[in-house]
Structure 1
């Protein structure tokens, strides 16, 4: 930027700041400006608070649900005879934390008092260390209880409550796979299992999930012992499962093995889609507050232009260019936006970081007694809020600034 352009910008900023300080001469314009700044402040603060809470809820669902179910599953029609080597190769893919043998079946679990539909996962406890870490030790004490041939099962807390069973009691598991046909019709495969543990994730998986040993699951499903056709993958970010699917398929294809993949979206994708849609709609609604505040900036600047028409005409007769005149009012409107934005950021971040403390102090508990709202501030999201606010408010200043630049000195000063 040349020295002359810099001086002109400095002049426009100086005059705009003088007008901004002197705006009290027009009480109504000052009133509208105050509400414009307040609207931007409230909109930005509300966006930060709501977005952070929604991010926290999404992250909590991600941890509580996706930490307990297969994030990406490899399915093969033929047995994986060298699955240890396959696991080692899968771990070399970016974003893959671990891969373990797994088998799953839909089943019914029955107790003396109730019956419920569940998803049963057969696992090798010794290979599930990654899962234990993701679940923060919820299953650490339980997985060791899964011993092949003992027919032990780990149930979710809500499932155990519905069945009215506790540790040490027996339940009957009936699997749709392994059905045999008798003269009386199809007979489902069934076995009695002893409840060896009860886990609680604080999500809907507590009502629909159960773990048994891999070999016990094979016997339940009447499959050949030791045969491994499925591998479950644990990912650094489960939301990358779709992009990793093709890489996993190509890895096996190079070895001459045809596999298919499935991921968590098949069973829980609708839930996360609903959360994402709700987050987007809330952001859109709160963004309207900023848009309304931007219209208030337009109103305040238009009144300022009308009030300063004579001043603008005098400045133009003294050689002030059209761009400089526009710069005066763009600077004035942008200053109001920046003040509201900075105050909104300070208040929004401050309230977000102390949200649970403030709610506890006034005795408000949204999620129930003893539970706090999950809060997760994403700085990339914050940057979009800042950029979006600045763009909207800058666009709002263009029309009043253009009106001011169109002032004709001869017409404005005719009766002066």
Structure 2
């Protein structure tokens, strides 16, 4: 195959003004379709990535990403924690205890998941809360019986910082002649956090030892560790490694991660992202079919030229190359235009929405946008593959032109 000759002829055909105006329109339509499809795919994928990232920060920043449970007390948990932090994907390890409880204020009652923590070891978690926090985390001290609530939970119970709330725990129930009596104690609201997600409605924090006393357990006893990861989505991949590390030290443990309570939410977001990408990819596929139509018209228009070239010794592969190059140039033009428009719109999306006066998430809120270069490369490669395959049939049709039949009446 003479690639240089095929390139020169294909490029001249591509640049030449087409006698068939309808073929020109189809070509323009195909290039525009690829441009719009690629641009829309980049913008929508970036917004969906931003929403997923924001959801990950607002929910997984406040709940245990990976939790380890032991039947026996971990007397030397600091040594185990230092070994776990040495693993690549684990950022921090801290003791924890959890219980399901009811919070009762003078005017309302609500279910809640309470986590007992040591604030000084929860820097990874507290950093996610600090952006929207009212009160003082330093008030979580042993014996103070202070509690930190989510904003929505505080609103439901009509509580503010400094108010008293009764906590009734299902753990530590005692049986009396009148029946089971849940463990209960009055706590003082020390702070209110707002993560902007559903955890604001069902999450609360107290000091670890206070939670142990509420549950009628020995204060300071550590049977549960919560692990913070570089990427919470890698929790399932590291679970076995964590269990093996504990087994090496002779500690039998079980594990749970954030997917047990919030996995369905992220699965729904991921499915929505995939479906949006699929629908927008169909735009590119339709544009690729238009490339087929435009090239077939070009082949019909250039049948005589192809016959003459074949009589001059041009090989079948070289003839295919001529028309494949034309299709590839159309695809490349649309792809480059789509990349430019898509990246430009993505980087200035909130500014454009503000100019147009459009507020998708409500007044004062901007769309989270996260442009991922790995995703861009997938879009580029996928577009090139689809459009390349679209040029094969017209090129084969051109290569099968018989010079004798094409030139019979010339």
Please give the TM-score of this superposition, normalised by the length of structure 1: 0.97
Q: CA deviation at 1:130?
A: 2.1
CA distance in structure 1 between the aligned counterparts of 2:246 and 2:50, rounded to whole angstroms: 36
TM-superposition CA deviations, 1:108-151 (whole Å, max 9, x none): 11111111111100001111122223445545963211121111
Distance change in 2, residues 1:75/1:211 (3 Å) = same
Report what 1:238 is aligned to: 232
Question: Is residue 180–residue 188 contact of structure 1 (8 Å, CA) maintained in 2?
Answer: yes
Report what 1:186 is aligned to: 180
Report what 1:317 is aligned to: 311
SS for the counterpart of 1:65 is helix
Aligned with 1:372 (options 350, 366, 369): 366
CA distance in structure 1 between the aligned counterparts of 2:263 and 2:26, rounded to whole angstroms: 46
Report what 2:191 is aligned to: 197
SS for the counterpart of 1:24 is coil
CA distance in structure 2 between the aligned counterparts of 1:127 and 1:142, rounded to whole angstroms: 16
**Pair 1:259 & 2:253 matched:** yes
**Pair 1:269 & 2:260 matched:** no
Report what 1:164 is aligned to: 158
SS for the counterpart of 2:371 is coil
CA distance in structure 2 between the aligned counterparts of 1:192 and 1:314, rounded to whole angstroms: 96
Aligned with 2:111 (options 117, 122, 125): 117
Q: CA deviation at 1:178?
A: 0.9
Question: Is residue 135–residue 161 contact of structure 2 (8 Å, CA) maintained in 1?
Answer: no
Aligned with 2:205 (options 198, 211, 218): 211
CA distance in structure 1 between the aligned counterparts of 2:134 and 2:90, rounded to whole angstroms: 22
Where do 4+ consecutive residues of structure 1 move more than 6 Å?
none
SS for the counterpart of 1:187 is strand
Aligned with 2:168 (options 157, 161, 174): 174
Q: Which runs of 5+ in 1 are unaligned?
A: none
TM-superposition CA deviations, 1:143-193 (whole Å, max 9, x none): 211121111110011111111111111111111111111112111111111
Which range moved further: 339-348 or 13-22? 13-22
Report what 1:286 is aligned to: 280
Q: How does 1:371-390 map to 2 (within 5 A)?
A: 371-390=365-384
Report what 2:331 is aligned to: 337
CA distance in structure 2 between the aligned counterparts of 1:93 and 1:134, rounded to whole angstroms: 22
TM-superposition CA deviations, 1:306-361 (whole Å, max 9, x none): 11111100000000000000000000001000000000000000000000011111
CA distance in structure 1 between the aligned counterparts of 2:225 and 2:134, rounded to whole angstroms: 21
Report what 2:15 is aligned to: 21
Distance change in 2, residues 1:209/1:236 (3 Å) = same
CA distance in structure 2 between the aligned counterparts of 1:388 and 1:158, rounded to whole angstroms: 44
Question: Is residue 63–residue 135 contact of structure 1 (8 Å, CA) maintained in 2?
Answer: no
Which range moved further: 379-388 or 235-244? 235-244
Aligned with 1:107 (options 101, 105, 108): 101
Q: Which runs of 5+ in 2 are unaligned?
A: none
CA distance in structure 2 between the aligned counterparts of 1:80 and 1:172, rounded to whole angstroms: 30
Aligned with 2:241 (options 247, 266, 282): 247
CA distance in structure 2 between the aligned counterparts of 1:276 and 1:218, rounded to whole angstroms: 38
Question: Is residue 71–residue 232 contact of structure 1 (8 Å, CA) maintained in 2?
Answer: yes
CA RMSD of aligned residues (A): 1.1
CA distance in structure 1 between the aligned counterparts of 2:241 and 2:129, rounded to whole angstroms: 27
Aligned with 2:345 (options 340, 351, 355): 351
Question: Is residue 117–residue 208 contact of structure 1 (8 Å, CA) maintained in 2?
Answer: yes
**Pair 1:31 & 2:25 matched:** yes
Question: Is residue 135–residue 192 contact of structure 2 (8 Å, CA) maintained in 1?
Answer: no
Question: Is residue 132–residue 140 contact of structure 1 (8 Å, CA) maintained in 2?
Answer: no
Q: CA deviation at 1:71?
A: 0.5
**Pair 1:406 & 2:384 matched:** no
SS for the counterpart of 2:139 is coil
TM-superposition CA deviations, 1:18-53 (whole Å, max 9, x none): 111224311000000111000000000000000000
